């Protein structure tokens, strides 16, 4: 299988009034055709910048980026002709109906006549929007708006589909529907999909996952390989009667010398230990009251292990240090200067409430 996108030593620096912001730093990546490649990582990590560069909207500062064998530095228009890009907030016209939006984008893409009719019919059926063709786009639910945005994006039958967090703010059932559509396009039309996501469970649909942080790629692997980073380190802590999960979670978080992650789940806590730490040592130190039971790792466990290990390898890492503001400062600068950063739609929820330094720049559950 050949590579559709090849980046070598790719760098993107934004020059702002507050100083230079490095959005991508020495990125080396190969995206295979007819596959789903997924970018995950915290806000300000460089995901959106990379997507925009692959769409021909930004030029590299250093290094090379080849898309369809076109040089992104000089052939951006040629790249744009073969790409459909759906940003986080797609430009639907809310005062137009579903059908009027499709007609408008069809004309913009040059898809007209019988070709438009057949493609439109297929997309309306695929997205289950045929019943709503006369409804104003502004009156659609969040999930239906995303489906309409995807339908408009797919009108041109692109070779490369770039999606920036398409499922943020979408209900679970609509998320499932969107991924069915995306998978069908890959299977039937051999479309190459490059997508960023705010949901780690969506990595199950990816052929390859790229973990971004601080403008670099930490890991490039399959979802299964990402799980393997947490092999033999994942356990379930069955809470004693009368104990609250949040209280016990906080106790575990306070021992970052032993614990990588702790997540309330189904009345218990899923615990991931640091490399080389035995479950008995956690019990011996009276952090928990009952023993830990081994469980199979998932992608989220592997993701957290990758971040912990990369943070520990950093010379600036210090559990007792004051919070590092590099990511948030960079995001704020880029937002004011380029409007090219992600909003705070993080992967994880409420983890910052109890975590110390390392967790302040990881993703919320």
329 pLDDT more than 50: no
Task: Locate the DSSP E strands across 170-309.
Answer: 192-196, 208-213, 216-221, 234-237, 259-265, 268-273, 292-294
Each residue of 270-292: pLDDT tens digit? 999 999 999 988 887 788 888 89
Position 314 confidence tier, pLDDT thresholds 50, 70, 90: low
How high is the pLDDT of residue 319?
41
* % of the chain with per-residue pLDDT over 90: 64
C-alpha to C-alpha distances, 205 to 180, 185, 223, nearest whole angstrom: 10, 13, 9
At the topology level of CATH, where does 3-225 sit?
Answer: Rossmann fold (3.40.50)
Q: Given the DSSP bridges, would you call strands 268-273 and 259-265 parallel, antiparallel or unpaired?
A: antiparallel
CB neighbour class for 276 (10 Å; exposed up to 12, middle 13-18, buried from 19): exposed
204 pLDDT more than 60: yes
CB 19 within 8 A of CB 329: no
How high is the pLDDT of residue 32?
94
How high is the pLDDT of residue 326?
36
- Cα-Cα end-to-end distance for the chain: 35
Each residue of 332-359: pLDDT tens digit? 433 433 333 333 334 444 333 334 333 3
C-alpha to C-alpha distances, 214 to 44, 60, 72, 313, 334, nearest whole angstrom: 7, 17, 23, 14, 13
Mean pLDDT of all residues in the chain?
A: 85
Binning the chain into helix, strand and coil, the percentages to the nearest 5 are: 40, 25, 40
Contacts of 48 by beta carbon, 8 Å cutoff, 6+ apart: 88, 164, 196, 340, 341, 342
Give the SS3 label for residue 246: helix
* % of the chain with per-residue pLDDT over 70: 85
Each residue of 234-267: pLDDT tens digit? 999 999 888 888 899 999 999 989 999 999 998 8
| Boundaries of every domain in the chain | 3-225, 227-360
Q: Given the DSSP bridges, would you call strands 259-265 and 208-213 parallel, antiparallel or unpaired?
A: unpaired
Position 2 confidence tier, pLDDT thresholds 50, 70, 90: confident
Each residue of 99-136: pLDDT tens digit? 999 999 999 889 989 989 999 999 998 888 999 999 99
Give the SS3 label for residue 272: strand
């Amino acid at each position: 299988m050949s590579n559709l996108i090849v980046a070598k030593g790719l760098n993107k620096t934004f020059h702002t009034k507050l100083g230079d912001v490095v959005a991508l730093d020495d990125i080396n990546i190969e995206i295979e055709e007819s596959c789903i490649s997924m970018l995950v990582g915290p806000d300000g990590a460089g995901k959106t910048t990379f997507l925009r560069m692959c769409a021909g909207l930004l030029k590299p500062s250093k290094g090379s980026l080849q898309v369809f064998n076109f040089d992104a530095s000089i052939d951006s228009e040629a790249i744009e002709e073969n790409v459909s890009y759906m940003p986080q907030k797609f430009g639907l016209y809310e005062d137009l109906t579903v059908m009027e939006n499709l007609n408008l984008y069809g004309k913009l893409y040059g898809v007209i006549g019988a070709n438009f009719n057949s493609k439109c019919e297929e997309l309306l059926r695929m997205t289950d929007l045929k019943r709503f063709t006369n409804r104003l786009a502004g009156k659609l639910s969040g999930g239906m708006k995303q489906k309409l945005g995807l339908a408009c994006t797919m009108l041109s039958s692109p070779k490369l589909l770039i999606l920036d967090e398409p499922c943020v703010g979408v209900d679970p059932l609509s998320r499932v529907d969107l991924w069915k559509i995306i998978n069908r396009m890959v299977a039937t039309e051999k479309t190459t999909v490059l997508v960023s996501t705010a949901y780690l469970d969506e990595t199950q649909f990816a052929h390859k996952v790229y973990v971004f942080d601080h403008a670099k790629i930490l890991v490039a692997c399959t979802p299964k390989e990402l799980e393997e980073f947490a092999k033999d380190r994942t356990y379930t802590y069955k809470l004693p009667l009368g104990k609250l999960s949040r209280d016990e979670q906080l106790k575990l978080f306070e021992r970052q010398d032993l614990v990588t992650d702790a997540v309330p789940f189904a009345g218990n806590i899923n615990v991931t230990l640091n490399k080389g730490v035995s479950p008995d040592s956690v019990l011996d130190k009276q952090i928990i009251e009952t023993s830990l039971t081994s469980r199979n790792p998932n992608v989220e466990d592997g993701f957290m292990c990758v971040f912990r290990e990369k943070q520990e390898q950093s010379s600036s890492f210090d559990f007792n240090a004051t919070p590092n503001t590099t990511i948030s400062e960079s995001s704020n600068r880029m937002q004011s200067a380029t409007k090219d950063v992600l909003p705070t739609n993080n992967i994880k929820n409420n983890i910052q409430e109890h975590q110390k330094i390392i967790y302040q720049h990881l993703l919320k559950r």
